[in-house]
Amino acid sequence: MIVLLIALALAIFLLPNLWAQWVLKRHTKGRDDYPGTGAELASHLLRRFDLKNVGVEVSEQGDHYDPIDRVVRLSPDHFNGRSLTAVTVAAHEVGHALQHAEGYAPLIARSRMVGVAQKAEKLGALLMMAAPFLFLLTRLPGGLAAVIAVAVISFGTAAVVHLVTLPVEFDASFNRALPLLKEYVPPSDMTGARHVLTACAFTYVAASLASILNLGRWLMILRR
């Protein structure tokens, strides 16, 4: 059962990611009819909504919005690219900046939980690896179960963060970025833009499901 769960988790996580990469690559062809790059569209949208305190930077760490530094960061291809993928990703990240500006509750919750979850997940992995040795050292009744329980709680924290991330990403994509893109890209490109946004969203869905399956696997171990 554990082997099947691991295989299912890998399939759920890898297949949507591969599909997302294929969709993003499919729409990276340069477009001479676009008036600007991803960075230029992001800067324009930030000015349009009077978010003067939010910057736009190129980043090697992938596309994301940093709520601490208040910066929209885009990968080099999307920062300099004049393609459907570039402008769609840029609009999505600006969507997060708009969420932050209005105090969108799920974004605030996720921002607060991310740091805690990263530390908890590392602690959980460490405890699971060290559990047999800790049990041999302590030899306390229920010692191993206590260590595993702490590890499961840490993995559970990561699963909660992934679940909180879903409404944040879907809102940024379909409630904010998509309506904006209708004003800046040709109508014939809107289907492609929706595909790009859907592909990105599916990566977060996959991560959430994989995290829940991982938590379920450790719960089964704990029950034994």
Which ranges of 27-104 does DSSP label H, i.e. alpha helix? 38-48, 76-80, 84-102
Find residue 66's DSSP bridge partners: 71
d(CA 200, CA 173): 9
Cβ atoms of 196 and 89 closer than 8 Å:
yes
d(CA 39, CA 124): 39
Cα-based distances in Å from 61 to 7, 75, 166, 174? 28, 7, 21, 24
73 dihedral zone (left: phi>0; alpha: psi -120 to 50; beta): beta
3-class secondary-structure state, position 101:
helix
Q: Which of 93, 102, 121, 169 is catalytic?
A: 93
- Calculate Rg over the CA atoms of the chain: 21
3-class secondary-structure state, position 52:
coil
d(CA 118, CA 121): 5
Q: How far is CA 137 from the centre of its chain?
A: 39
Q: What angle do CA 216, 217, 220 make, to 5 degrees?
A: 85
Q: Is 93 a catalytic residue?
A: yes
Show which residues are catalytic: 93
